[in-house]
């Protein structure tokens, strides 16, 4: 069998059984997608509990969310270790057959370390999910109650009757638990893959099999594992964003509060166009009758000014 296919090789005393294993791409992509869905589920449920003012359920959710964030960070680190291992493995494949012994030992040690980490994170996550299952009934009840109230408010008829049927609500609780169960399944698939890979490296060290033969076989193997590197980088980037989402505190805006404070009606979020200031031109008001100068006083004032000007001119000569 060509070593360009990833295989689990189990050696026994009588025979060697070979089982073809799925590639690493699918479990990693599924893992990152599920963590993304879980992060959105935690955020939506956190926001829901804040709006419903469910203090006890909210505190329990916060505690569980911190634990899952820590576990997602551990998964992120394990994938980083996997990326470094792939660099060593592809480098060993490119070496000449007589120069692979030392690098094979290093690959075998790093591969076994990743396998142990995956085993630990899988067991820990399984225990966390089992404990978090106890909150499912409470969270589902709160979500269902909020869904019914939203549907009733939106679909009450003109005569005040409540419709018998209302459209189904996208339950964030079910989405969250399905995502967490998918994460658990992906972790198990990753463990199976690395268990097969470490078994292959053990056989290499025991001289029961060899690295891919130089030429096309090595080129195909290196190409496959290089693609795994790209998938891991993309997944780790997505997981980092999901962790940031889970660390965010939801902001709930109270509609009643905004109604009680009308002077803040133009604060964010603003739904109306901003009104430009209006320039109003004002004309001077006409003077009151008592403010208008009389003709007699005006002629007298002009006479006084004329007399003063005449005296001034005579003084010059």
Q: Is residue 125 part of a domain?
A: yes
pLDDT of residue 60: 94
At residue 93, the pLDDT reads: 87
Q: Residue 196 has what pLDDT? A: 94
163 lies in some domain: no
In a domain? residue 244? yes
Q: 315 lies in a domain? A: no
Q: Domain limits at 117?
A: 24-154+170-249
Task: Please report the pLDDT score of residue 113 as a whole number.
Answer: 96
| 176 within a domain of the structure (yes/no) | yes
pLDDT at 8: 38
Task: With respect to residue 84, please indicate whether it lies within any of the assigned structural domains.
Answer: yes
Q: Nearest Cα to 65, choosing from 141, 132, 160?
A: 132
What residues of the chain score a pLDDT lower than 50? 1-20, 151-152, 154-169, 257-276, 278-282, 313
b/e code 217-252 from CB counts within 10 Å (16+ = b): ebeebbebbeebeebbeebbebbeebbeebeeeeee
> What pTM was computed for the model?
0.69
Asked if residue 110 belongs to a domain, the reply is: yes
Cα separation, 34 vs 121, in Å, equals 16
CA distance 226 to 220: 10
pLDDT given at position 300: 65
Q: What is the pLDDT of residues 249-271, one digit of tens each?
A: 888 765 554 444 444 444 444 44
The pLDDT of residue 302: 66
**In terms of DSSP bridges, do strands 7-11 and 16-20 run parallel, antiparallel, or are they unpaired?**
antiparallel
The pLDDT value recorded for residue 223 is 93
Distance CA 282, CA 298 (A): 30
Q: Give me the pLDDT at residue 85, please.
A: 95
Q: What is the pLDDT of residue 208?
A: 75
Chain position carrying tokens 């549907």: 151
pLDDT of residue 145: 80
Backbone angles phi, psi at 248, to 5 degrees: -75, 140
- State the total domains in the chain: 1
Q: How many CA atoms lie within 13 A of 222 on its CB side?
A: 15
Query: Rounded to an integer, what distance in angstroms lies between the CA atom of residue 127 and that of residue 237?
Result: 26
285 is a domain residue:
no
């Amino acid at each position: 069998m060509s070593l360009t296919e990833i295989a689990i090789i189990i050696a026994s005393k009588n025979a060697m059984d070979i089982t073809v294993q799925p590639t690493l791409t699918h479990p990693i992509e599924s893992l990152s997608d599920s963590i993304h869905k879980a992060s959105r589920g935690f955020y939506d449920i956190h926001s829901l509990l804040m709006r419903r003012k469910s203090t006890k359920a909210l505190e329990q959710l916060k505690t569980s969310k911190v634990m899952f964030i820590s576990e997602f960070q551990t998964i992120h680190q394990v994938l980083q270790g996997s990326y470094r291992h792939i660099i060593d493995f592809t480098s060993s494949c490119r070496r000449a057959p007589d120069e692979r012994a030392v690098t094979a030992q290093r690959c075998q040690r790093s591969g076994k370390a990743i396998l142990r980490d995956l085993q630990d994170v899988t067991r820990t996550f399984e225990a966390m999910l089992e404990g978090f299952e106890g909150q499912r009934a409470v969270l589902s009840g709160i979500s269902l109650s909020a869904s019914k109230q939203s549907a009733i408010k939106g679909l009450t008829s003109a005569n005040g009757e409540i419709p018998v049927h209302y459209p189904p609500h996208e339950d964030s609780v079910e989405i969250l638990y399905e995502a967490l169960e998918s994460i658990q399944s992906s972790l198990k698939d990753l463990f199976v893959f690395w268990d097969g890979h470490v078994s292959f490296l053990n056989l290499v060290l025991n001289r029961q099999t060899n690295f891919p033969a130089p030429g096309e076989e090595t080129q195909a193997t290196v190409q496959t594992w290089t693609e795994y590197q790209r998938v891991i980088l993309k997944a780790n980037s997505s997981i980092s964003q999901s962790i940031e989402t889970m660390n965010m505190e939801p902001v709930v805006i109270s509609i009643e509060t905004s109604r009680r404070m009308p002077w803040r009606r133009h604060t964010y979020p603003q739904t109306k166009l901003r009104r430009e200031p209006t320039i109003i031109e004002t004309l001077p008001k006409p003077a009151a009758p008592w403010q208008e100068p009389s003709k007699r006083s005006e002629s007298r004032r002009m006479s006084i000014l004329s007399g003063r000007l005449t005296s001034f001119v005579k003084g010059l000569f």
